Chains A and B, each alone.
Chain A
Amino acid sequence: MASNEEILAGLAEIVNEETGLAPEAVELDKSFTEDLDIDSISMMTIVVNAEEKFGVRIPDEEVKNLKTVGDAVSFIAGAQA
Protein backbone atom coordinates (compact mmCIF):
# COMPACT_ATOMS: atom_id res chain seq x y z
CA MET A 1 0.00 0.00 0.00
CA ALA A 2 1.43 3.29 -1.08
CA SER A 3 0.66 6.61 0.61
CA ASN A 4 -0.78 9.45 -1.48
CA GLU A 5 2.66 11.09 -1.41
CA GLU A 6 4.25 7.91 -2.75
CA ILE A 7 1.62 7.59 -5.46
CA LEU A 8 2.20 11.20 -6.52
CA ALA A 9 5.96 10.67 -6.64
CA GLY A 10 5.55 7.45 -8.62
CA LEU A 11 3.13 9.10 -11.03
CA ALA A 12 5.51 12.05 -11.51
CA GLU A 13 8.25 9.60 -12.40
CA ILE A 14 6.02 7.92 -15.01
CA VAL A 15 5.00 11.28 -16.50
CA ASN A 16 8.64 12.35 -16.65
CA GLU A 17 9.60 9.12 -18.42
CA GLU A 18 6.85 9.59 -21.02
CA THR A 19 6.96 13.35 -21.60
CA GLY A 20 10.22 14.68 -20.18
CA LEU A 21 8.31 17.03 -17.82
CA ALA A 22 10.17 17.74 -14.59
CA PRO A 23 8.71 15.53 -11.80
CA GLU A 24 8.13 18.61 -9.59
CA ALA A 25 5.80 20.03 -12.27
CA VAL A 26 3.42 17.13 -11.66
CA GLU A 27 1.29 18.57 -8.86
CA LEU A 28 -2.08 17.44 -7.52
CA ASP A 29 -4.09 20.35 -8.95
CA LYS A 30 -2.56 20.14 -12.46
CA SER A 31 -4.76 19.06 -15.36
CA PHE A 32 -3.14 16.43 -17.57
CA THR A 33 -4.35 18.02 -20.79
CA GLU A 34 -4.60 21.75 -19.95
CA ASP A 35 -1.56 22.21 -17.71
CA LEU A 36 0.77 19.36 -18.58
CA ASP A 37 -0.07 19.23 -22.32
CA ILE A 38 -0.39 15.44 -22.28
CA ASP A 39 -2.23 14.01 -25.29
CA SER A 40 -4.52 10.98 -25.26
CA ILE A 41 -1.82 8.63 -26.54
CA SER A 42 0.64 9.63 -23.82
CA MET A 43 -2.20 9.43 -21.28
CA MET A 44 -2.87 5.80 -22.19
CA THR A 45 0.81 4.96 -21.84
CA ILE A 46 0.90 6.67 -18.45
CA VAL A 47 -2.21 4.77 -17.35
CA VAL A 48 -0.78 1.39 -18.34
CA ASN A 49 2.55 2.15 -16.66
CA ALA A 50 0.70 3.26 -13.51
CA GLU A 51 -1.30 0.02 -13.49
CA GLU A 52 1.91 -1.95 -13.52
CA LYS A 53 3.67 0.20 -10.94
CA PHE A 54 0.83 0.29 -8.42
CA GLY A 55 -0.71 -3.11 -9.13
CA VAL A 56 -4.15 -1.68 -9.93
CA ARG A 57 -6.53 -1.77 -12.87
CA ILE A 58 -7.71 1.56 -14.36
CA PRO A 59 -10.62 0.76 -16.71
CA ASP A 60 -10.63 2.62 -20.05
CA GLU A 61 -14.00 4.26 -19.22
CA GLU A 62 -12.45 5.62 -16.00
CA VAL A 63 -9.52 7.32 -17.76
CA LYS A 64 -11.65 10.23 -19.04
CA ASN A 65 -12.59 11.06 -15.43
CA LEU A 66 -8.96 11.43 -14.43
CA LYS A 67 -8.68 15.12 -15.33
CA THR A 68 -6.10 16.17 -12.78
CA VAL A 69 -3.12 14.51 -11.21
CA GLY A 70 -5.08 14.55 -7.93
CA ASP A 71 -7.92 12.58 -9.60
CA ALA A 72 -5.42 9.91 -10.63
CA VAL A 73 -3.80 9.75 -7.20
CA SER A 74 -7.22 9.36 -5.51
CA PHE A 75 -8.32 6.70 -7.96
CA ILE A 76 -5.14 4.67 -7.51
CA ALA A 77 -5.28 5.01 -3.72
CA GLY A 78 -8.93 3.85 -3.77
CA ALA A 79 -8.19 0.96 -6.07
CA GLN A 80 -5.38 -0.21 -3.80
CA ALA A 81 -7.55 -0.07 -0.68
Chain B
Amino acid sequence: MKKKLALGLAAFGMVAGLGATTAQAQSVCSVWLVENSRFMGVPFGMFHPDRSFVQGSTNARNNVNTVDLPVNVGVIKCGKDVILYDNGWNATDYHKMTGTGHWSPLSKQIAQIGIDAKDVSKIIIGHGHWDHAGSLDEFPNAMLYVQKEELKGIEWALNYPGHERIRAVNTSPGGCSRTPACGYTPKTVDQIYGKVLRGMAVIVDGDMEIMPGVKIHAAHRAHTAGSQLLEVNTAIGKLMFGSDAYSSWEAIRDWEVANVQQTDSVQQFLAYEKCYKVTGGFQNCVAAHEPLSYSDKYPLTKNSWVGMNGGRLAEITLAPGETSRKPK
Protein backbone atom coordinates (compact mmCIF):
# COMPACT_ATOMS: atom_id res chain seq x y z
CA MET B 1 0.00 0.00 0.00
CA LYS B 2 2.78 2.35 1.00
CA LYS B 3 4.62 1.42 -2.18
CA LYS B 4 1.54 2.21 -4.30
CA LEU B 5 1.12 5.54 -2.54
CA ALA B 6 4.77 6.39 -3.09
CA LEU B 7 4.47 5.51 -6.76
CA GLY B 8 1.31 7.59 -7.02
CA LEU B 9 3.03 10.58 -5.40
CA ALA B 10 6.03 10.17 -7.66
CA ALA B 11 3.76 10.09 -10.70
CA PHE B 12 1.93 13.16 -9.44
CA GLY B 13 5.26 14.87 -8.87
CA MET B 14 6.33 14.04 -12.41
CA VAL B 15 3.09 15.39 -13.86
CA ALA B 16 3.34 18.52 -11.71
CA GLY B 17 6.97 18.91 -12.71
CA LEU B 18 6.04 18.49 -16.36
CA GLY B 19 3.38 21.15 -15.91
CA ALA B 20 5.91 23.49 -14.36
CA THR B 21 8.30 22.90 -17.25
CA THR B 22 5.54 23.62 -19.76
CA ALA B 23 4.59 26.75 -17.86
CA GLN B 24 8.22 27.90 -17.87
CA ALA B 25 8.38 27.46 -21.61
CA GLN B 26 5.40 29.73 -22.08
CA SER B 27 5.92 33.45 -22.50
CA VAL B 28 4.78 35.55 -19.58
CA CYS B 29 3.33 38.64 -21.16
CA SER B 30 2.59 42.20 -20.07
CA VAL B 31 -0.87 43.44 -20.93
CA TRP B 32 -2.45 46.87 -21.29
CA LEU B 33 -5.89 47.87 -22.42
CA VAL B 34 -6.38 50.97 -24.55
CA GLU B 35 -9.67 52.74 -25.16
CA ASN B 36 -9.50 53.61 -28.83
CA SER B 37 -12.79 55.52 -28.68
CA ARG B 38 -16.12 55.57 -26.91
CA PHE B 39 -19.57 55.19 -28.47
CA MET B 40 -21.68 57.66 -26.55
CA GLY B 41 -25.27 57.28 -25.46
CA VAL B 42 -26.01 53.85 -26.88
CA PRO B 43 -29.40 52.48 -25.71
CA PHE B 44 -28.48 49.82 -23.14
CA GLY B 45 -31.05 47.33 -24.42
CA MET B 46 -29.57 47.50 -27.91
CA PHE B 47 -26.30 46.25 -26.44
CA HIS B 48 -27.42 44.03 -23.58
CA PRO B 49 -31.02 42.89 -24.12
CA ASP B 50 -31.50 41.51 -20.60
CA ARG B 51 -30.66 44.97 -19.27
CA SER B 52 -33.24 46.79 -21.39
CA PHE B 53 -34.47 50.07 -19.95
CA VAL B 54 -37.89 49.93 -18.31
CA GLN B 55 -39.41 53.34 -17.68
CA GLY B 56 -39.87 53.93 -13.95
CA SER B 57 -38.14 50.73 -12.93
CA THR B 58 -36.28 50.81 -9.64
CA ASN B 59 -34.48 47.59 -10.50
CA ALA B 60 -30.82 48.44 -11.03
CA ARG B 61 -30.71 45.98 -13.93
CA ASN B 62 -33.35 47.83 -15.89
CA ASN B 63 -33.18 51.49 -14.93
CA VAL B 64 -30.25 52.52 -17.09
CA ASN B 65 -31.37 54.11 -20.33
CA THR B 66 -28.16 54.62 -22.28
CA VAL B 67 -24.54 53.63 -21.82
CA ASP B 68 -21.20 54.79 -23.17
CA LEU B 69 -19.35 51.87 -24.70
CA PRO B 70 -15.55 51.89 -24.85
CA VAL B 71 -13.84 50.34 -27.85
CA ASN B 72 -11.07 48.41 -26.11
CA VAL B 73 -7.88 47.20 -27.75
CA GLY B 74 -5.52 44.76 -26.06
CA VAL B 75 -1.80 45.54 -26.15
CA ILE B 76 0.23 42.45 -25.30
CA LYS B 77 3.99 42.40 -24.95
CA CYS B 78 5.64 39.01 -24.78
CA GLY B 79 9.41 39.44 -24.74
CA LYS B 80 10.15 41.58 -27.77
CA ASP B 81 6.93 40.68 -29.53
CA VAL B 82 4.17 43.27 -29.39
CA ILE B 83 0.74 41.93 -30.23
CA LEU B 84 -2.49 43.85 -30.66
CA TYR B 85 -5.77 42.13 -30.08
CA ASP B 86 -8.15 44.12 -32.29
CA ASN B 87 -7.06 47.50 -33.56
CA GLY B 88 -9.98 49.85 -33.23
CA TRP B 89 -10.65 52.10 -36.16
CA ASN B 90 -9.13 55.01 -37.94
CA ALA B 91 -11.11 57.15 -40.27
CA THR B 92 -11.30 60.87 -40.44
CA ASP B 93 -12.17 63.53 -37.93
CA TYR B 94 -15.67 63.43 -39.34
CA HIS B 95 -16.16 60.11 -37.66
CA LYS B 96 -15.83 61.74 -34.27
CA MET B 97 -19.03 63.61 -34.94
CA THR B 98 -21.13 60.51 -35.33
CA GLY B 99 -21.70 59.60 -31.75
CA THR B 100 -18.15 58.85 -30.83
CA GLY B 101 -15.96 60.42 -28.22
CA HIS B 102 -12.36 60.23 -27.08
CA TRP B 103 -11.04 58.82 -30.33
CA SER B 104 -7.37 59.09 -31.24
CA PRO B 105 -5.28 57.13 -33.74
CA LEU B 106 -4.29 53.86 -32.09
CA SER B 107 -0.64 54.30 -33.06
CA LYS B 108 -0.54 57.52 -30.99
CA GLN B 109 -2.42 55.93 -28.13
CA ILE B 110 0.04 53.08 -27.77
CA ALA B 111 2.91 55.56 -27.93
CA GLN B 112 1.62 56.71 -24.53
CA ILE B 113 2.78 53.38 -23.13
CA GLY B 114 6.09 53.59 -24.94
CA ILE B 115 5.22 51.32 -27.84
CA ASP B 116 6.10 52.32 -31.38
CA ALA B 117 3.62 51.30 -34.08
CA LYS B 118 6.52 49.98 -36.14
CA ASP B 119 7.29 47.47 -33.38
CA VAL B 120 3.87 45.84 -33.46
CA SER B 121 4.62 42.39 -34.84
CA LYS B 122 1.20 40.73 -34.78
CA ILE B 123 -2.42 41.81 -34.91
CA ILE B 124 -5.11 39.31 -34.03
CA ILE B 125 -8.56 40.54 -34.98
CA GLY B 126 -11.37 39.09 -32.89
CA HIS B 127 -13.54 39.71 -35.95
CA GLY B 128 -13.54 41.93 -39.01
CA HIS B 129 -16.04 44.64 -38.13
CA TRP B 130 -14.96 48.20 -38.92
CA ASP B 131 -14.53 49.23 -35.29
CA HIS B 132 -12.21 46.30 -34.50
CA ALA B 133 -10.17 45.90 -37.67
CA GLY B 134 -10.03 49.46 -38.89
CA SER B 135 -6.47 50.63 -38.20
CA LEU B 136 -4.42 48.04 -40.01
CA ASP B 137 -2.65 50.65 -42.12
CA GLU B 138 -1.09 52.15 -39.00
CA PHE B 139 0.90 48.97 -38.37
CA PRO B 140 2.81 48.19 -41.55
CA ASN B 141 5.09 45.56 -39.99
CA ALA B 142 2.39 43.59 -38.24
CA MET B 143 1.30 40.15 -39.37
CA LEU B 144 -2.49 39.93 -39.37
CA TYR B 145 -4.27 36.85 -38.00
CA VAL B 146 -7.83 36.44 -39.27
CA GLN B 147 -10.10 33.40 -39.32
CA LYS B 148 -10.80 31.91 -42.73
CA GLU B 149 -14.39 31.47 -41.60
CA GLU B 150 -14.71 35.23 -41.09
CA LEU B 151 -13.77 35.93 -44.69
CA LYS B 152 -15.94 33.15 -46.02
CA GLY B 153 -18.87 34.30 -43.90
CA ILE B 154 -18.89 37.83 -45.28
CA GLU B 155 -18.51 36.64 -48.85
CA TRP B 156 -21.30 34.12 -48.43
CA ALA B 157 -23.63 36.80 -47.18
CA LEU B 158 -22.74 39.28 -49.91
CA ASN B 159 -23.43 36.72 -52.59
CA TYR B 160 -26.48 35.13 -51.04
CA PRO B 161 -28.83 34.26 -53.88
CA GLY B 162 -32.15 34.51 -52.06
CA HIS B 163 -33.78 37.38 -50.27
CA GLU B 164 -31.92 40.66 -50.71
CA ARG B 165 -32.10 41.45 -47.01
CA ILE B 166 -29.67 38.60 -46.26
CA ARG B 167 -26.98 40.29 -48.31
CA ALA B 168 -27.88 43.78 -47.15
CA VAL B 169 -25.12 46.17 -46.28
CA ASN B 170 -25.75 49.40 -44.47
CA THR B 171 -26.30 51.40 -47.63
CA SER B 172 -28.94 48.99 -48.88
CA PRO B 173 -32.51 50.29 -48.92
CA GLY B 174 -33.67 50.06 -45.35
CA GLY B 175 -30.10 49.79 -44.16
CA CYS B 176 -28.94 46.96 -41.98
CA SER B 177 -28.22 46.63 -38.33
CA ARG B 178 -27.46 43.02 -37.67
CA THR B 179 -27.72 41.14 -40.97
CA PRO B 180 -24.70 39.01 -41.93
CA ALA B 181 -22.80 41.47 -44.13
CA CYS B 182 -23.27 44.42 -41.79
CA GLY B 183 -20.32 46.14 -40.24
CA TYR B 184 -17.77 45.49 -42.96
CA THR B 185 -16.90 48.76 -44.68
CA PRO B 186 -15.06 48.77 -48.01
CA LYS B 187 -12.01 50.27 -46.30
CA THR B 188 -11.80 47.63 -43.59
CA VAL B 189 -12.23 44.75 -46.03
CA ASP B 190 -9.73 46.34 -48.39
CA GLN B 191 -7.14 46.67 -45.65
CA ILE B 192 -7.55 43.02 -44.68
CA TYR B 193 -7.16 42.11 -48.34
CA GLY B 194 -4.12 44.40 -48.58
CA LYS B 195 -2.41 42.50 -45.77
CA VAL B 196 -3.21 39.15 -47.38
CA LEU B 197 -2.01 40.40 -50.77
CA ARG B 198 1.34 41.53 -49.39
CA GLY B 199 1.97 38.28 -47.53
CA MET B 200 1.37 39.99 -44.19
CA ALA B 201 -1.50 37.82 -43.05
CA VAL B 202 -2.10 34.38 -41.64
CA ILE B 203 -5.50 33.01 -42.47
CA VAL B 204 -6.29 30.87 -39.48
CA ASP B 205 -8.51 27.83 -39.76
CA GLY B 206 -9.59 26.99 -36.21
CA ASP B 207 -7.27 27.10 -33.18
CA MET B 208 -3.62 28.09 -33.42
CA GLU B 209 -0.81 28.65 -30.95
CA ILE B 210 1.04 31.67 -32.30
CA MET B 211 3.79 31.52 -29.69
CA PRO B 212 4.23 29.61 -26.46
CA GLY B 213 1.51 30.78 -24.07
CA VAL B 214 -0.40 32.77 -26.69
CA LYS B 215 -3.15 30.84 -28.40
CA ILE B 216 -5.99 31.67 -30.76
CA HIS B 217 -9.26 29.86 -30.05
CA ALA B 218 -11.86 29.80 -32.80
CA ALA B 219 -15.26 31.03 -31.58
CA HIS B 220 -17.19 30.90 -34.82
CA ARG B 221 -20.58 32.60 -34.73
CA ALA B 222 -20.01 33.80 -31.15
CA HIS B 223 -20.38 37.27 -32.67
CA THR B 224 -19.58 36.94 -36.36
CA ALA B 225 -18.95 33.98 -38.65
CA GLY B 226 -15.28 33.79 -37.81
CA SER B 227 -14.86 35.27 -34.34
CA GLN B 228 -11.72 34.28 -32.50
CA LEU B 229 -10.50 34.56 -28.89
CA LEU B 230 -6.95 34.99 -27.66
CA GLU B 231 -5.49 33.23 -24.63
CA VAL B 232 -2.49 34.96 -23.08
CA ASN B 233 -0.26 33.73 -20.29
CA THR B 234 0.57 36.37 -17.69
CA ALA B 235 1.86 36.74 -14.15
CA ILE B 236 -1.73 36.95 -12.87
CA GLY B 237 -2.77 33.80 -14.68
CA LYS B 238 -4.31 33.24 -18.05
CA LEU B 239 -6.24 36.06 -19.68
CA MET B 240 -8.76 35.50 -22.44
CA PHE B 241 -9.51 38.28 -24.91
CA GLY B 242 -12.82 37.96 -26.68
CA SER B 243 -13.46 41.05 -28.81
CA ASP B 244 -17.22 41.23 -29.36
CA ALA B 245 -17.82 37.62 -28.43
CA TYR B 246 -17.04 39.14 -25.03
CA SER B 247 -18.64 42.51 -25.62
CA SER B 248 -19.84 42.79 -22.03
CA TRP B 249 -17.94 41.50 -19.02
CA GLU B 250 -21.11 41.68 -16.93
CA ALA B 251 -22.84 39.47 -19.48
CA ILE B 252 -20.07 36.88 -19.17
CA ARG B 253 -20.42 37.01 -15.39
CA ASP B 254 -24.22 36.73 -15.54
CA TRP B 255 -24.43 34.36 -18.53
CA GLU B 256 -26.38 36.68 -20.77
CA VAL B 257 -26.01 37.48 -24.44
CA ALA B 258 -24.61 40.86 -25.43
CA ASN B 259 -24.09 42.80 -28.63
CA VAL B 260 -25.98 40.35 -30.76
CA GLN B 261 -24.95 40.88 -34.38
CA GLN B 262 -24.31 37.76 -36.41
CA THR B 263 -24.37 35.91 -33.14
CA ASP B 264 -25.47 32.39 -32.33
CA SER B 265 -26.26 32.66 -28.62
CA VAL B 266 -25.15 29.08 -27.97
CA GLN B 267 -21.77 29.84 -29.52
CA GLN B 268 -21.48 33.02 -27.48
CA PHE B 269 -22.10 31.03 -24.29
CA LEU B 270 -19.54 28.43 -25.39
CA ALA B 271 -17.07 31.28 -25.88
CA TYR B 272 -17.85 32.42 -22.32
CA GLU B 273 -17.33 28.88 -21.12
CA LYS B 274 -13.93 28.83 -22.81
CA CYS B 275 -12.88 31.76 -20.65
CA TYR B 276 -14.14 30.09 -17.48
CA LYS B 277 -12.29 26.89 -18.39
CA VAL B 278 -9.00 28.46 -19.43
CA THR B 279 -8.77 31.24 -16.84
CA GLY B 280 -10.69 29.62 -13.98
CA GLY B 281 -13.58 32.10 -13.87
CA PHE B 282 -14.88 35.32 -15.35
CA GLN B 283 -12.50 37.82 -13.75
CA ASN B 284 -9.81 37.46 -16.41
CA CYS B 285 -12.10 37.64 -19.42
CA VAL B 286 -11.24 40.78 -21.36
CA ALA B 287 -14.29 42.45 -22.86
CA ALA B 288 -14.32 44.79 -25.84
CA HIS B 289 -17.15 47.17 -24.94
CA GLU B 290 -17.75 46.72 -21.22
CA PRO B 291 -19.21 50.02 -19.91
CA LEU B 292 -17.57 49.39 -16.51
CA SER B 293 -14.10 49.24 -18.06
CA TYR B 294 -11.37 51.27 -16.35
CA SER B 295 -13.21 51.26 -13.02
CA ASP B 296 -13.16 49.27 -9.78
CA LYS B 297 -16.35 47.58 -10.90
CA TYR B 298 -14.38 45.68 -13.55
CA PRO B 299 -11.43 44.82 -11.33
CA LEU B 300 -9.10 43.55 -14.07
CA THR B 301 -9.10 47.02 -15.63
CA LYS B 302 -9.12 49.19 -12.51
CA ASN B 303 -5.43 50.19 -12.64
CA SER B 304 -6.26 52.90 -15.14
CA TRP B 305 -5.64 56.47 -16.12
CA VAL B 306 -6.84 59.00 -18.65
CA GLY B 307 -4.74 59.63 -21.72
CA MET B 308 -4.94 61.73 -24.87
CA ASN B 309 -8.30 63.14 -25.83
CA GLY B 310 -9.83 61.60 -22.71
CA GLY B 311 -9.26 58.03 -23.90
CA ARG B 312 -8.50 55.72 -20.98
CA LEU B 313 -5.78 53.13 -20.55
CA ALA B 314 -5.28 50.32 -18.05
CA GLU B 315 -2.18 48.46 -17.03
CA ILE B 316 -3.49 44.98 -16.40
CA THR B 317 -0.35 43.02 -15.61
CA LEU B 318 3.40 43.26 -16.03
CA ALA B 319 5.80 40.47 -16.89
CA PRO B 320 8.75 40.02 -14.53
CA GLY B 321 11.30 42.76 -15.24
CA GLU B 322 8.85 44.94 -17.14
CA THR B 323 8.51 48.50 -15.89
CA SER B 324 5.20 50.23 -15.37
CA ARG B 325 4.01 52.54 -18.11
CA LYS B 326 1.40 54.20 -15.94
CA PRO B 327 2.21 57.86 -15.39
CA LYS B 328 3.25 58.64 -11.80
**Bound pair (A, B):** no
User: Could you list which residues of chain A lie within 8 angstroms of chain B, going by C-beta atoms?
Assistant: none
Residues of B within 8 A of A (CB): none
